[in-house]
Amino acid sequence: MFKLEERKDEYQKICDLLRHHSYKLTPQRQTILKAFLEHEDQHLSAEDTFMMVKHNYPDIGLATVYRTLDLLAELGILQKNDFGDGRSRYEFNRQDEHHHHHLICVQCGEVSEFDEDLLESLEAQIEKRNGYHVIDHDLKFYGYCEKCKSALD
């Protein structure tokens, strides 16, 4: 269950940001936002999110979930990712954290993160050699997770 006490400040900041941009804080948006706070370590698709929230808010529609996720991504609250499986996945956009990258299992579809960022020195070289100012990068590795790799052996 969502422990608002533990995440109250973060939840309130997001609610304030929505209001600041003249968006209503509807019960559907609150429910979706709470689902992401409860599962912040996951990369949720609209369908995943819908399945999580429909039992708490049975009248919510999949289209509402899609619109809300796109809105939260547009406002920079969520980051929208494409892991090549035909579904967009969302996660909190942690601008104050070190950039992380993704490991994607081609067999089971599991997505995990790793924080080692060896690209910072490459970005500096690119800027120095080419005069190109890099503002972001995205790195994904595709392969087999430990479980699927073991099953192949």
Q: Residues at the annotated binding site for Fe cation? A: 99, 120, 137
Instruction: List binding-site positions for Zn(2+).
Output: 105, 108, 145, 148
Contact 71, 33 (CB under 8 A): no
Across the beta sheet with 44-45, what order do the strands follow? 44-45, 88-92, 78-82
Question: Using DSSP, how many helices (H) and how many strands (E) does the chain show?
Answer: 6, 6
* End-to-end alpha carbon distance in the chain: 39
Alpha helices in the chain (DSSP H): 4-20, 27-38, 46-53, 62-74, 119-130, 146-152
Instruction: List binding-site positions.
Output: 99, 105, 108, 120, 137, 145, 148
